[in-house]
Amino acid sequence: MAVVRWFKRHFVVIAGLLTLGYLLLPNVIVTVFSFNKPKGRFNYEWQQFSLDAWKQPCGVADMCGSLSISLQIAVWATIGATLLGTMIAFALVRYRFRARGAINSLIFLPMAMPEVVMAASLLTLFLNMGAQLGFYTILIAHIMFCLSFVVTAVKARVMSMDPRLEEAARDLYAGPVQTFVRVTLPIAAPGIAAGALLSFALSFDDFIITNFNAGSTVTFPMFVWGSAQRGTPVQINVIGTAMFLVAVLLVLFSMVITNRRNKVKA
């Protein structure tokens, strides 16, 4: 009976940790198999331990090239979407104007649309315009679908801002520009940063929309997709593992910094 009672009391914790395991299991597999030495072209079965792939991360033709294209697109898409999205968010929160409802739906709809629909319709537009598919069509598409997420993130932050802070700044003889740069922008910064981070992640990892509008340009997700047909090099797992580690380390590092700063303040 004691076992049953213990199980009942900790049911949520056990179920939650099992789900966490389900979420992390593929990452464990990706990491373990980055040390594999597969026999055939595919890296799905464990053969023997080897550091080959880690020693030559760019040892596969075209992989690092596709990685650099993905990074470039992600950086430009983040800059574009963050800039345009932040402007929209400020307009939505701070001003009253016509067609607000229509604009709100135009921003909401891309988030509620299956990617394949946006991908297909954008391709019909490019085909009709006779546009050359490649780097720029991918970039256009990425800015389009990242925009809405930036607007949502920045809007939430600006809405919860205390308007009296800006009034106080103006009472203290700050001009409109000074108020914006010294007061408004620093307060909105976490929202803008969240939107930018999200854009970067979404753009870097996007496959479906990119696959439709890329022409012969190959991004990193498209390289992985192609390799699933031709044969998966171990180096893919190396990149996947390295990105996971870098992300976790960066987050832990920033947490340690904030903790220390809070302690100093206290």
Partner 1 sequence: MAAVTEAPPLAPAPEEKPPRKKRGRWTPYWLLLPGILWLIVFFALPMIYQGSTSIQTGSLEDGYKVTWHFATYWDALSEYWPQFLRSVLYAAAATILCLLLGYPLAYLIAFRAGRWRNLIMILVIAPFFTSFLIRTLAWKTILADSGPVVSVLNTLHVLDVTNWLGWTSGDRVLATPLAVVCGLTYNFLPFMILPLYTSLERIDGRLHEAAGDLYAKPFTTFRKVTFPLSMPGVVSGTLLTFIPAAGDYVNAELLGSTDTRMIGNVIQTQFLRILDYPTAAALSFILMAAILAMVTIYIRKSGTEDLV
> Looking at beta carbons only, is 22 or 49 nearer to partner 1?
22
Structure tokens at 229: 């047909």
Contact between 17 and partner 1 per CB under 8 A: yes
Contact between 173 and partner 1 per CB under 8 A: no
Contact between 79 and partner 1 per CB under 8 A: no
Burial class (CB in 10 A: 0-12, 13-18, 19+), 102: exposed
> Looking at beta carbons only, is 185 or 248 nearer to partner 1?
248
Contact between 112 and partner 1 per CB under 8 A: yes
Tokens 């520009």, located at residue = 177
Q: Which of 16, 40, 65, 231 binds partner 1 (CB under 8 A)?
A: 16
Instruction: Count CB-CB contacts under 10 A for residue 211.
Output: 17
Collapse the DSSP code of 173 into the 3-class scheme (helix H, G, I; strand E, B; otherwise coil) and give the result. coil
Stretch of 49-57, 58-66, 71-79, 113-121 lying at the interface with partner 1 (CB under 8 A): 113-121
Can you tell me the distance from the alpha carbon of 1 to that of 19, in angstroms, rounded to the nearest whole number? 26
Q: Which of 138, 169, 220, 234 binds partner 1 (CB under 8 A)?
A: 220
Contact between 228 and partner 1 per CB under 8 A: yes
Residue in 221, 79, 219, 224 with CA at minimum distance from that of residue 135: 219
Burial class (CB in 10 A: 0-12, 13-18, 19+), 59: middle
> Looking at beta carbons only, is 25 or 172 nearer to partner 1?
25
50: left (phi over 0), alpha (psi -120 to 50) or beta: beta
Report 125-144 residues binding partner 1 (CB under 8 A).
125, 127-128, 140-141, 143-144
Contact between 155 and partner 1 per CB under 8 A: yes
Q: Which of 151, 188, 196, 218 binds partner 1 (CB under 8 A)?
A: 151
> Looking at beta carbons only, is 22 or 186 nearer to partner 1?
22
Report 80-109 residues binding partner 1 (CB under 8 A).
84-85, 87-88, 90-97, 103-109
> Looking at beta carbons only, is 174 or 224 nearer to partner 1?
224
Q: Which of 169, 210, 232, 233 binds partner 1 (CB under 8 A)?
A: 232
Can you tell me the distance from the alpha carbon of 85 to that of 143, in angstroms, rounded to the nearest whole number? 10
Dihedral of the CA atoms 148, 154, 158, 161 (nearest 10)?
A: 140
Residue in 146, 124, 152 with CA at minimum distance from that of residue 204: 146
Q: Which of 51, 168, 189, 248 binds partner 1 (CB under 8 A)?
A: 248
